[in-house]
Structure 1
C-alpha cells in the first residue's frame, strides 16, 4: 500500500518503545520510532520507521531561532536559550522575553502567539493576584515569537504577517531547517502557536541536532549555531524550566535536549551523537527514558549519570500517593542494553 504523503508512519511500522506497568499489570503501551546517529551521520540504532515524515513541532525551535539570528537578531545569553525554548512561563522567562521585545521596539500585543496562563505556579499566582490575567509572554513559545518580531524590525519587514509561510522570515526558517536536516521539508502545517511547522523524517531531525551540537567544537561551523548550542547548555533553565526534563538533562549531562508536542524529542551530545523520537500516541512521558537509554547503550553518555537523571525526570506511577509501578522500556529498546 503506498504511503499517504499527508500522514506520519503507522502502528504497523512502529515498535513498542515503552510500557506503563501498574501493580504488576501492563496497562498502557507507547508505540513509536526512534533513531540514533553517530557523529558522522551514520545510523547506529534504528527502531521502527525513521524515514516517514513527522511534524517535528517545537523540536525545531533552535533552527527557527537560528534563522532569526541569521536575519540579524543580536540575541545574547538567556535570550538565545528562551528563543529555542518551550518554557514554563516563570517570572524569569517572561522577564527575558519582555527585554527582547523592548530591544526590538515592539509591544507584547504584537506577539501572535496566544495568551496563556503560565505552567509555573509562582508566575501564575502573580498574574492572578495582580489581576493581569493571561499573558502572551507566558505562552511557552513567546521567546521564539519575540525573536521573530525582532527579525522583522531589524529588516524592515511587516510585523503583522510574520507567521505567514511566504514572509521573508519564514522563508529563512525553511532554509535553515532544510540545510541542517539535509532534506527537503515534506509538508508544512500550522503549529500550536500559529507558526509554520515542518514535517521531517526522524533521521533528518537527528541529523540537524547532530550538526547543531557539534557546532561549538568545529571552527568551520556556523558561528550562530555554535552560539545556540552553547547558550542552551549555559542557560538550560531558559529552555524549559527548573526541574523540567530537558533542563535537567542539559544541566546534568551537557546533552542538548528539546521536546516537541505530540511525543517528539531530540537530543545530541557535544560530539554530535544524536537521537530523535516520535511516540505515535503523542505522549511525552516515556521520551526521555527512551532517548537517554539509546545514548547510554551506544556509549555516548555515562550510564550511571543517566540513571541519576532518569530518577529525576521519569514520572512515577503512583497509587494513593506512593509508587505502585513504573514506566519501563519496550523489548526492542531494553534489548540494546544487553548488547556487548
Structure 2
C-alpha cells in the first residue's frame, strides 16, 4: 500500500454496529490491535500495519518534545499540552497561564479561534460579546507549549507550525523514537500543526512506552519527562478532555492512559504497558471507546466488571423521540474475542 493512503474497507473488519428499534442501520468497519506489555501483538483485527494519520493521539509526544526543549510545564499544564479539551473556563485559564508564563498573548497562538464545546464557557463568551477565542480551540494547550518552547530556545515564533521548524523536527524525532517506526507521511492537522502517519501497531507501542514510564520504563523511553506526561494525564484527567467526556472518565475511573483523535482514532494503555489502538475507517468515533475497552478486557489487561461500569457511563444510547430506542453494540470481529 502506498504511504499516502490508509487501509481500505477490504482490509478492515466490522468493529461495531448501530442498532435502532431492533434493526441494524449502520456498521463501522476498521482495524485495531492490542499489544502486551512487552510489545508483542496479542490481538490483531484488520490491517494493523497500514499507516493512519494519528491526529490528536500524538499530543502527548508533542508535549514531550516541548518539555525536552526546556519548557517547565507542571501539573495541569502538562495535561493541557496533551489535551483535546472542550474549552471550559478552567481549560482556558490554564492555557492563558501558560502563555503568561512564557511572556506571550492569545494572539500569538496560530490555532483557529473557535467556540468552546463546553456549554457554560460558550454561554459566557456569548453574554460577554467576546465571541470565538483561540484559547477555546481544543488544541490551544498544545500550541501554547509549542510557543513556550520557541521562547525558551530562541526559535522563531511565527513559523512554529512549519514542518522544517526546529521544534517540529524534534516532535517528529520524538514520535519516531516512541513508535519505533519511521513516519510514513506528514500531513497538516485540523489545528494547523504537522501530523504524522504511523501504523496502529506503532501507535500502540508508543503508548505502551509512555504508560510504563512512571515505573521506570526502558532506557531513555522511561525518562522523567515521559513519566511526568503520563502521571499528569492521570492526575488531571479533566484537563485532557472534559469532566464527563469519555477519555477523562476512562482515565479517572480505570487509571488507563486514553487519548482520542479525529477521524476515529483512539489509543489506550495500562500502567503495565498493555495497549490498544483503534481506527474506525469512516472516521466516526462513537464506538471507539466500546471497542478499545472490550479488546483490553478480552486480553485480560483490564477488569471486565469495571469496564462494564465505565461503558455504561460513556457509550451513548441511540435515541428516538428523546428516549433510548437502540444501542451501539460490538461487531462480530470484536464480540468473538469474548467467546
Fold in common (TM above 0.5): yes
TM-score range with shorter-chain normalisation?
A: over 0.9
Is 1:113 the counterpart of 2:111? The answer is yes
- Measured in 1, the distance between the counterparts of 2:105 and 2:154 equals 16
- Measured in 2, the distance between the counterparts of 1:173 and 1:206 equals 18
Tell me how large the CA RMSD over aligned residues is.
0.6
Calculate the TM-score normalised by the size of structure 1.
Answer: 0.98
Q: What stretches of structure 1 move > 4 A for 4+ residues in a row?
A: none
SS in 1 for 2:279: strand
Q: Paired residue for 1:169, among 167, 170, 174?
A: 167
SS in 2 for 1:170: helix
The answer for unaligned runs of 5 or more in structure 2 is none
- What residue number does 1:259 align with? 260
Q: Describe the superposition over 1:249-281 as per-residue Cα deviations: whole angstroms up to 9, x where unpaired.
A: 000000000000000000000000000000000
Q: Describe the superposition over 1:127-182 as per-residue Cα deviations: whole angstroms up to 9, x where unpaired.
A: 11111110000000000000000000000000000000000000000000000000
- Measured in 1, the distance between the counterparts of 2:208 and 2:216 equals 12
- What residue number does 1:10 align with? 8
Calculate the TM-score normalised by the size of structure 2.
Answer: 0.98
Aligned residues: 336
Is 1:304 the counterpart of 2:305? The answer is yes
- Measured in 1, the distance between the counterparts of 2:286 and 2:57 equals 16
> Shift of the alpha carbon at 1:5?
2.4
The answer for unaligned runs of 5 or more in structure 1 is none
- Measured in 2, the distance between the counterparts of 1:335 and 1:24 equals 20
- Measured in 1, the distance between the counterparts of 2:66 and 2:307 equals 33
> Shift of the alpha carbon at 1:218?
1.1
Is 1:330 the counterpart of 2:328? The answer is no
SS in 2 for 1:290: helix
SS in 1 for 2:271: coil
Deviates more, 1:10-19 or 1:214-223: 214-223
- Within 5 Å, give how 1:160-239 maps onto structure 2: 160-218=158-216, 220=219, 221-239=222-240
- What residue number does 2:55 align with? 57
